[in-house]
Amino acid sequence: MEKKLLYGLLTVCAASIPFLFKGPKMRENLVIFFSKGVLATLVDAYVVGTKRVKYPVRPFSKIFKTNIIYDMLFFPLLSVLWVKQSYNDKLGGIILKSFTWSIPMSLSQWFLEKRTGLFKWYKWSPIHTFLSVSFTLFTIRALVSLIKKLDKVKVKI
């Protein structure tokens, strides 16, 4: 069942890519996607390395200890969607909209941890998921704000 869930997630992510990476902000979306992939991989490598979470079922299990579908595809795609959702918001709106991603993510991971063998929590809880998802969302959103400011600056050479 777990492998079917992973293949389903991979299929949904792959099918969404053409819709998320089109339009005038494609460069920005690619920066978001790859930055979130790096950040999620680093956070997950720490979490797995400190034995807080284990991924018994994962792709390329002989190479990676983390689940690369989550870290390099699913979470980055969600970040692209979240930035699109909060792109023109001020801090209050960004914080409120972050809850629309971090709370469902925490609850769904708690549910999946209890009902599947995709991952096991040892020193982890839904609160940890909430905090780590929120941290990475805000980090990526800060990067987008920086990119927006740099785009407005005229560079004189």
pLDDT digits (tens, 9 = 90+) for 40-80: 999 999 999 999 999 999 999 999 999 999 999 999 999 99
Contacts 24+ apart (CB under 8 A), 103-110: 103/130, 105/78, 105/129, 105/130, 105/133, 106/130, 106/133
Domain assignment present for residue 139? The answer is yes
In-domain check, residue 52: yes
Domain assignment present for residue 154? The answer is no
Q: Is residue 157 part of a domain?
A: no
At residue 157, does pLDDT exceed 70? no
The conformational region for residue 38 under phi > 0 = left, psi -120 to 50 = alpha, else beta, is alpha
22 in a domain, yes or no?
A: no
On whether residue 113 sits in a domain, the answer given is yes
Q: What is the pLDDT of residues 108-135, one digit of tens each?
A: 999 999 999 999 999 999 999 999 999 9
For the whole model, what pTM was predicted? 0.88
Residue 53: φ, ψ to 5°:
-135, 145
The structural domain count of the chain equals 1
Q: Which domain covers residue 64, as residue numbers?
A: 2-14+28-146
Indicate whether 116 belongs to any domain.
yes
